[in-house]
Amino acid sequence: MVEISSDVIRGYNDTMILYILQKAPSYGYEISKQIKQLSDGKYIIKETTLYSAFTRMEKNGYIESFTAAPEADGGGKRRTYYRITASGQQYYKEKCEEWNLTKEVVEHFISVEA
């Protein structure tokens, strides 16, 4: 069975996280769960990868963190939530364009059908 090489996907972890945060602020486990669901369970992001991405993007000003308790199960435990910033939105757009270009280029060289 083919697995995703972590070298290839690395450049797009940020894109996935920003895509989810674009819809609503979220926290660590929730984000990793959504990544798993949206990829039909084909990509499971490691906890350390996720946390690294958070710290890196926060440093770059793409996301902001805040603490809050989840509304769903009111009074639940407090977690660190992340929300996307304006420059994060901009970065996300650039990453999408970059991917479209990458995909277009690489696509020309793929001859074996899945």
Partner 1 sequence: METIKKYLETMFANLPRTPEVIKAKDELWQMMEDKYNELIAEGRSENEAVGIVISEFGNLDELAETLGLEQAVEESHELMELEPRRQLCMDEVRDFLHAQMARGSMMGIGVLFCITCSIWVILLSDTILEMIGVLLMLIQIALAVGMFVFAANRHAKWSYIYKEPCSIDFATAEYVASEKERYSLGLKGQRTIGILLCATCWLPAALFDSIGLTKLNIMDNIVAVMLLLMVGVGVFFIVNSAIVRASFEKILKINNEKTMGSQFVDAQKVLYENPRLNNLMSVYWPTITCIYLSWSFLTFNWGSSWLIWPIAGIAHSVIKKNLGCTKQA
Contacts with partner 1, residue ranges (CB under 8 A): 27-30, 32-33, 44, 46-56, 79-80
Closer to partner 1 at the Cβ: 79 or 95?
A: 79
Shortest separation between residue 104's beta carbon and partner 1, angstroms: 30
Shortest separation between residue 110's beta carbon and partner 1, angstroms: 29
Shortest separation between residue 2's beta carbon and partner 1, angstroms: 19
- Tell me whether strands 26-27 and 79-84 are parallel, antiparallel or unpaired: antiparallel
Q: Which residue spans within the chain are E strands per DSSP?
A: 26-27, 63-68, 79-84
Shortest separation between residue 66's beta carbon and partner 1, angstroms: 13
Closer to partner 1 at the Cβ: 74 or 104?
A: 74
Query: 1: which DSSP letter?
Result: -
Closer to partner 1 at the Cβ: 29 or 93?
A: 29
Q: Is the dihedral of CA 49, 38, 36, 108 positive or negative?
A: negative
Closer to partner 1 at the Cβ: 73 or 113?
A: 73
Name the helix (H) or strand (E) containing 15. helix 6-23
Task: Kindly give, in sequence order, each residue whose CB lies less than 8 Å from that of residue 30, ignoring residues fewer than 6 positions away.
Answer: none
